[in-house]
């Protein structure tokens, strides 16, 4: 999970194919190319050099001619963020790049970085990323199926958990808790790309925003986790929250199929899953009451590995050294995690509060060893080394 306020950024990072931003280097060849849209942003206008560009790689060359700090967004028709750049100071230039399919989009400049912004409709023409390696299209399709399967398989497991909560059966609910989260944790970046579901189902207490009341506004798995392990009681509110969780996750199941998935979002998603492990699981913050962190840990790694395996045919051609290293580090981390598994192939892991400091350090080192090369997978998918 991520704190609520980050969910928009997360959505951008995942949904945007190549939501990467280059520095302010001047590249003369970039000027005026058919893939470049010059954006002249001022305090009252957002002028575009063109409103049509070919689908595929697009670069917004933004110049802030106004007096206020501005930000620029490329948005899907439903206002999901394709890519964005914040904090563009007066008199500075920034480039924002993305990979877009054919269709309508909106470019919005937000002088003063607030409000709806000054909006212009633009169109990406043609076949989109049609020149893409067909193996990558296959990888995306296979990953989409995987994400859908995970959601489909998760719902019944969630129901076992929420039924137990509704029945007031503390022990049964505790037993079903971790398993109900596996499918979600495997594909979390996809779920997070919707922005609104993650804060409802997977937020931790410290992720609540100022002004939100934990008793009223905190929903989802971790609120129930606290009730089961810390408060040790199930009341009317918990039963209500269980039903809410079913509903919110049904929404997720409905929407997974519509998620924007690209080869680079798959690669970045794999890296993000390891980021999740590094920031939330290795520290024991994610499951602070149930201490089932290692189940999430394992699921995150499995999800990352699935993306990787699907992208490997292309990545191994472009950067064989990288895929060799990734094979090695995935295997090493899997082997290390097996040490904490009660039975092979099962999802019962040592409670994380029983994992000592030295062992946590070893896990953290193994995560770093994998995440560092994994951060280079997106580049290996799109470019030959």
Partner 1 sequence: MTGSNSAAGQGPEAEETGNSGKPSRRSLLGWSGAGLALGAAAGGGAVALVQDGEQAAPAAESGAAVDFHGPHQAGIATPVQDRLHFAAFDVKTGDRAEFVQLLKDWTAAAARMTAGHAVGEGAYGGLAEAPPDDTGEALGLPPSRLTLTLGFGPSLFAKFGLTDRRPKALVDLPKFPGDNLDPARGGGDLCVQACADDPQVAVHAVRNLARIGFGKVAVRWSQLGFGKTSSTTPSAQTPRNLMGFKDGTRNIAGTDTARLAEHVWARAGDGAPWMAGGSYLVARRIRMNIETWDRTSLQEQEDVFGRDKGEGAAVGKAREHEEPFLKAMKPDAHVRLAHPDSNDGATLLRRGYSFTDGTDGLGRLEAGLFFLAYQRDVRTGFIPVQRRLARADALNEYIQHVSSAVFAVPPGVREPGDWWGRTLFTADRRD
Which span (45-53, 171-179, 180-188, 368-376) binds partner 1, by CB under 8 A? 368-376
Residue 375 found at the interface with partner 1 (CB under 8 A): yes
Residue 356 found at the interface with partner 1 (CB under 8 A): no
Nearest residue (CB) to partner 1, 172 versus 313: 313
Q: How far is CA 203 from the centre of its chain?
A: 14
HEC sequence for the chain? CCCHHHHHHHHHHHHCCCCCEECCCCCHHHCCCCCEEEEEECCCCEEECCCEEECEEEEEEEEECCCCCEEEEEECCCCCEEEEEEEECCCCEEEEEEEECCEEEEEEECHHHCCCCEEEEEEEECCCCCCCCHHHHHHHHHHHHHHHHHHHHHHHHHHHHHHHHHCCCHHHHHHHHHHHHHHHHHCHHHHHCCCCCHHHHCCCHHHCCCCCCHHHHCCCHHHHHHHHHHHCCCCHHHHHHHHHHHHHHHHHHHHHHHCCCCHHHHHHHHHHHHHHHHHHHCCCCCCCCCCCHHHHHHHHHHHHHHHHHHHHHHHHHHCHHHHHHHHHHHHHHHHHHHCCECCCCCCCECCHHHCCHHHHHHHHHHHHHHHHHHCCHHHHHHCCC
Residue 18 found at the interface with partner 1 (CB under 8 A): yes
Which span (74-82, 187-195, 337-345, 377-385) binds partner 1, by CB under 8 A? 377-385
Residue 329 found at the interface with partner 1 (CB under 8 A): yes
Q: How far is CA 159 from CA 180, 191, 299, in A?
A: 8, 19, 19
Residue 376 found at the interface with partner 1 (CB under 8 A): yes
Nearest residue (CB) to partner 1, 162 versus 264: 264
Which span (33-41, 149-157, 207-215, 362-370) binds partner 1, by CB under 8 A? 362-370
Residue 139 found at the interface with partner 1 (CB under 8 A): no
Residue 336 found at the interface with partner 1 (CB under 8 A): no
Which span (137-145, 248-256, 348-356, 360-368) binds partner 1, by CB under 8 A? 360-368
- Interface with partner 1 in residues 86-125 (CB under 8 A): 97
The CB density around residue 152, as the number of other CB atoms within 10 Å, is 12
Among 25, 44, 342, 344, binds partner 1 (CB under 8 A): 25
Residue 241 found at the interface with partner 1 (CB under 8 A): no
Q: Smallest gap, in angstroms, from Cβ of residue 97 to partner 1?
A: 5
Among 43, 133, 285, 365, binds partner 1 (CB under 8 A): 365
Nearest residue (CB) to partner 1, 25 versus 44: 25
Nearest residue (CB) to partner 1, 51 versus 324: 324
Q: Smallest gap, in angstroms, from Cβ of residue 109 to partner 1?
A: 21
Residue 334 found at the interface with partner 1 (CB under 8 A): no
Q: Smallest gap, in angstroms, from Cβ of residue 282 to partner 1?
A: 13
Binding mask 252-281 vs partner 1 (x if CB under 8 A, - otherwise)? ------------x-----------------
Q: Which residues bind partner 1 (CB under 8 A)?
A: 18, 20-23, 25, 97, 264, 325, 329, 357-358, 361, 365, 368-373, 375-376, 378-379, 381-383
């Amino acid at each position: 999970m991520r704190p609520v306020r980050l969910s928009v950024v997360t959505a951008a990072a995942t949904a945007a194919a190549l939501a990467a931003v280059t520095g302010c280097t001047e590249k003369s060849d970039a000027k005026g190319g058919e893939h470049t849209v010059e954006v002249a942003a001022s305090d009252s206008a957002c002028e575009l050099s063109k409103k049509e560009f070919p689908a595929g790689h697009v670069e917004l060359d933004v110049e802030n001619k106004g007096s206020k700090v501005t930000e620029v967004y490329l948005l899907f028709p439903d206002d999901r963020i394709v890519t964005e750049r914040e904090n563009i100071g007066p008199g500075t230039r920034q480039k924002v790049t993305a990979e877009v399919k054919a269709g309508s989009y909106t470019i919005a400049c937000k002088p003063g970085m607030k409000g709806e912004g000054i909006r212009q409709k633009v169109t990406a023409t043609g076949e989109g990323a049609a020149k893409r390696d067909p193996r990558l299209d296959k990888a995306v399709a296979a990953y989409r199926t995987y994400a859908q399967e995970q959601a489909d398989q998760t719902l019944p497991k969630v129901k076992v958990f929420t039924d137990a909560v509704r029945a007031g059966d503390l022990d049964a609910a505790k037993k079903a808790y971790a398993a109900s989260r596996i499918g979600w944790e495997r594909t979390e970046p996809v779920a997070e790309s919707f922005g609104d579901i993650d804060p409802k189902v997977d937020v931790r207490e410290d992720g609540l925003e100022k002004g939100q009341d934990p008793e009223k506004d905190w929903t989802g798995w971790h609120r129930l986790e606290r009730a089961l392990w810390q408060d040790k009681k199930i009341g009317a509110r918990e039963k209500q929250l269980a039903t809410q969780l079913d509903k919110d996750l049904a929404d997720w199941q409905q929407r997974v199929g519509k998620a924007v998935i690209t080869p680079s979002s798959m690669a970045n998603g794999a890296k993000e899953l390891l980021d999740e492990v590094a920031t939330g699981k290795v520290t024991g913050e994610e499951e602070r009451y149930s201490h089932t962190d290692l189940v999430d840990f394992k699921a995150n790694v499995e999800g990352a590995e699935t993306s990787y395996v699907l992208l490997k045919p292309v990545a191994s051609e472009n950067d064989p050294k990288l895929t060799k290293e990734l094979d090695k580090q995935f295997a090493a981390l899997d082997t290390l995690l097996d040490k904490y598994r009660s039975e092979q192939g099962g999802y019962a892991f040592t409670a994380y509060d029983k994992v000592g400091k030295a062992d946590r350090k070893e896990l953290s080192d193994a995560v770093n060893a994998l995440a560092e090369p994994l951060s280079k997978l997106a580049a290996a998918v799109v470019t030959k080394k």
